[in-house]
């Protein structure tokens, strides 16, 4: 007769219904309640984004020089692992930008200076001289991006033409002439750019230097008008993004109110873990209360957008967690996936459309190893998210222990939902039951008499037959949070001899079993049987 029926109870609960808890031998039972009535947010299909920066090898932090040849100007575009790592996302958004973008000029016939790379100079702004992007390198980059299928956002120099008296505040308008030469060259060559972003960390108080909101709005309007002219007759046109800085409610509010028809995306940066030299980074990452703190940024930005007449959406344009290049054996190790995936889940719940991780490669926080290009643990976390978490975001709340972080989305490229569960506890295994608010339909698979599938709706308390779910359990090698090797369902994730990214295969389990989240582990659980109104 084939597969028999597997019986599973699904309860439709009301808000405030208490979870069943028990604790014995390091096991806690808890419940995640998913509200399936309507989505609370909607992310871009290519939500996952990573940055490539301009830092030269001489960039050092706290006595450590961690950038090597990972700059946009010098990274090895012939490396097969690099190519395959990007292609695996199909597509991966890549934002080209960072601190030195506001000291970068672009080779052109109008440029009245030699096209030289950045050089370290302590007396210069940001510690480096002006650098230049040769058009030959720009050609190489675009050939690589086209081959890899990457979606490119380019950060433009927003300090060009301004005077910078002492005190950090700039004066004068942005001079768009050099940017115009780059954009015109790019359009004439037929290179596809998803968006042009103006400036890096110049908003609010700025980092080293700042631009007033009114002035920034005027400059953004100039960029918008220039892009409209250059791409006349081209659809869709590249997005206009700004300001690529840290959220400041007053500054962002003024800026948004003056760019209502010129701005497509408002970008902000996140480094909520503090400096990379902080010896307490891991403690912060494992502290649920500390992680919760960043929710205020997302909530306040969402409120600022809603109170403005703008149609712009929010992106995290750069997020490295720990600034000044991160910290070795922390921001490139398994433990960082706790922070990173929590950020992806949290930002999605506040309707963030795209999240750009600093960095794809370079520093101590790269998704890829700076010298070998081998994926670090966060690369696989990002890829799993990209493959499993669909556009519609569901409200999810967990009862049972404060050490579980829970997020839910409609599934991607399939029906059902995907749960993300993060266990920040070092000793306690959590057995998770799933409950739903709202109308629920479940799909059952039958193999007898030639019947394959049927969809039925069940009132409260009725038994239903379901089949299986797909679990993806992430753990560090040897249980070491500082390991740079990640295991998926107990198997080491590593590229093969040809530089191919390994397939991310689930463990197929009986749907009647509770989802078991081991200490210091991460679980993605795809439940294809669950069909919610929010996912139709």
d(CA 159, CA 252): 19
Report the chain's C-alpha Rg in angstroms.
24
* Given the residues 107, 201, 294, 470, the one annotated as active site: 201
Instruction: Let me know: does 265 contact 315? Beta carbons within 8 Å.
Output: yes
Burial class (CB in 10 A: 0-12, 13-18, 19+), 445: middle
Tokens of 154: 């380019």
Residue that has been written with the tokens 């309860």 in this structure: 11
Run of H or E including 46? none
- The tokens describing 496, both together, are 């093969």
Catalytic residue among 107, 197, 294, 318: 318
Question: Is 140 tagged catalytic?
Answer: no
Q: Is 201 noted as a catalytic residue in this protein?
A: yes
Inter-residue contact 196 to 95 (CB < 8 Å): no
CA separation (Å) from 201 to 1, 100, 152, 286, 310? Answer: 64, 11, 19, 28, 21
Candidates 516, 337, 522, 371; CA nearest to 429 is 516
Structure tokens at 533: 């109104």
Phi, psi of 154 (to 5 degrees): -110, 125
Q: At what angle do helices 213-230 and 177-189 cross, to 10 degrees?
A: 30
Dist. CA 326–CA 334, nearest whole Å: 14
Q: SS3 of 404, please? A: strand
DSSP output for 254-315? HHHHT-TTT-SEEEEEE-TTEETT-TTHHHHHT-HHHHHTTHHHHHHHHHHHHTSS---EEE
Active site residues: 201, 318
């Amino acid at each position: 007769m084939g597969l028999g029926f597997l019986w599973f109870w699904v309860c439709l609960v009301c808000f405030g219904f208490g979870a069943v808890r028990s604790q014995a031998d390091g096991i806690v039972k808890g419940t995640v309640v998913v509200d399936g009535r309507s989505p609370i947010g909607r992310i871009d299909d290519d939500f996952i984004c990573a940055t490539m920066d301009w830092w030269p090898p001489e960039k050092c932090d706290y006595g450590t020089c961690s950038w090597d040849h990972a700059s946009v100007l010098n990274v090895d575009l012939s490396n097969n692992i690099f190519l395959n790592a990007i292609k695996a996302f199909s597509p991966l958004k890549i934002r080209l930008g960072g601190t030195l973008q506001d000291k970068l000029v672009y080779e052109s016939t109008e440029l009245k200076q030699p096209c030289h790379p950045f050089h370290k100079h302590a007396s210069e702004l940001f510690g480096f001289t002006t650098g230049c992007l040769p058009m030959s390198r720009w050609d190489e980059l675009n050939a690589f991006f086209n081959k890899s299928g990457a979606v490119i956002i380019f950060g433009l120099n927003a300090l060009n033409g301004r005077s910078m008296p002492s005190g950090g505040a700039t004066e004068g308008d942005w001079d768009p002439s050099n940017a115009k030469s780059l954009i015109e060259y790019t359009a004439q060559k037929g290179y596809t750019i998803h968006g042009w972003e103006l400036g890096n960390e110049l908003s609010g108080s700025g980092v080293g230097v700042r631009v007033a909101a009114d002035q920034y709005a005027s400059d953004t309007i100039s960029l918008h008008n220039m892009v409209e002219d250059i791409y006349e007759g081209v659809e869709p046109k590249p997005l206009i993004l700004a300001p690529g800085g840290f959220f400041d409610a007053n500054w962002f509010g003024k800026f948004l109110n003056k760019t209502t028809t010129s701005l497509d995306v408002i970008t902000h940066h996140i480094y909520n873990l503090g400096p990379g030299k902080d010896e307490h980074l891991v403690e912060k990452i494992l502290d649920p209360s500390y992680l919760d703190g960043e929710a205020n940024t997302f909530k306040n930005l969402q409120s600022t957008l809603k109170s403005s007449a703008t149609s712009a959406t929010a992106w995290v344009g750069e997020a490295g967690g720990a600034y000044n290049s991160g910290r070795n054996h922390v921001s490139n190790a398994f433990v960082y996936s706790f922070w990173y995936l929590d950020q992806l889940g949290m930002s999605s719940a506040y309707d963030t459309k795209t999240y750009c991780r600093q960095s794809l490669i370079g520093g101590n926080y790269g998704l890829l190893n700076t010298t070998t290009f081998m994926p670090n643990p966060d690369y696989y976390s990002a890829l799993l998210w990209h493959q499993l978490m669909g556009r519609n975001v569901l409200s999810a709340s967990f009862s049972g222990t404060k050490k579980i972080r829970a997020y839910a989305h409609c599934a991607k490229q399939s029906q059902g939902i995907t749960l993300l569960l993060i266990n920040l506890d070092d000793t306690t295994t959590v057995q998770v039951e799933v409950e739903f608010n709202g109308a629920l339909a479940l799909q059952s698979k039958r193999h007898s008499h030639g019947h394959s599938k049927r969809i039925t709706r069940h009132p409260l308390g009725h038994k239903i037959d379901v089949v299986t779910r797909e679990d993806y359990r992430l753990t560090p090698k040897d249980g070491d949070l500082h390991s740079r090797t990640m295991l998926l369902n107990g198997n080491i994730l590593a590229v093969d001899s040809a530089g191919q990214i390994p397939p991310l295969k689930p463990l197929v389990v009986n749907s009647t079993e509770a989802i078991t989240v081991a200490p210091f582990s991460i679980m993605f659980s795809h439940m294809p049987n669950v069909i919610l109104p929010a996912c139709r």
